[in-house]
Amino acid sequence: MSRPHFAPDPLDPLLTTREAAMRLGVSLRTVQLWVEAGTLPAGRTPGGHRRIRLSAVEALAQRSGLRAAVQTTQMLQPAMTPLDVLLVAASVDQLQVWQEALQPLYGSITLRGANNGYTGLLQLGRKTPDLLITDLSMPDIDGYAMLLTLAGLHDYASLRVLAITAQTPQQIAERGGLPDRVRVMHQPVPGMAVRTWAESELARLGRSPHRDLQA
């Protein structure tokens, strides 16, 4: 049975079947069976990967009494280690805009920053971040090639990426596209859009954003 293609929605993140299983407290096979039976609506990304919307998982949890599994995750949330977010910008000014936009999420995230591609590569090699926000067009390195290289390395298999670019969708497609886990935003990108993406990733992992009251 063919399934609809899902487009990214910052307000309703897409989960893998494994992530859905973890949120519901059931096995991966159980989620797969629910999807095949139509109990849990699922779709495909343009790349052909199966995804389930967070809203569908939460609706099933409420209907089936599995809400306790989600609530347990939320109860454990304060003890969770903040997500490590690496910012790789093309300039000092751009880096500052991103840092200011994400400041209200301090407590749920920690920030590392680089204002050029080479420093960003050094930061990536020092520690694999949970989230990467990067410019595709930098004076010293090709951000597009960097992301394709990371996609082929096992250590970065779970890395979620927000790529910001002045390139058009057609230009990106002409280079072969980007991995499914890379979200692309086209400039100009307001700081609020960057924060919304980070918040959606926190929600995808079952973490409500902890906002800095001083922000």
Identify the weakest region by mean pLDDT among 70-79, 116-125, 168-177: 70-79
Identify the weakest region by mean pLDDT among 32-36, 63-67, 88-92, 111-115: 63-67
Q: 196 Cβ partners below 8 Å, 6+ apart?
A: 10
Position 127 confidence tier, pLDDT thresholds 50, 70, 90: confident
> Domain coordinates of the chain in residue numbers?
14-76, 80-204
Q: Is residue 211 scored above 60 in pLDDT?
A: no
**What's the whole-number mean pLDDT along residues 23-33?**
80
Residues facing 160 on adjacent strands? 131
If one compares 17 and 37, the residue with the highest pLDDT of the two is 17
**Residue 196 in contact with residue 183, Cβ under 8 Å?**
no
Q: What is the CATH number of domain 80-204?
A: 3.40.50.2300
Q: What is the CATH number of domain 14-76?
A: 1.10.1660.10
**Residue 43 in contact with residue 49, Cβ under 8 Å?**
no
**What's the whole-number mean pLDDT along residues 126-154?**
87
Strands (E), the chain: 14-15, 43-44, 50-53, 83-88, 109-114, 131-135, 160-165, 182-186
- Phi (first) and psi of residue 175, to 5 degrees: -90, 5
Structure-block tokens of residue 19:
């992530």
Q: How far is CA 162 from CA 9, 67, 89, 191, 195, in A?
A: 13, 30, 12, 13, 11
Structure-block tokens of residue 37:
């039976």
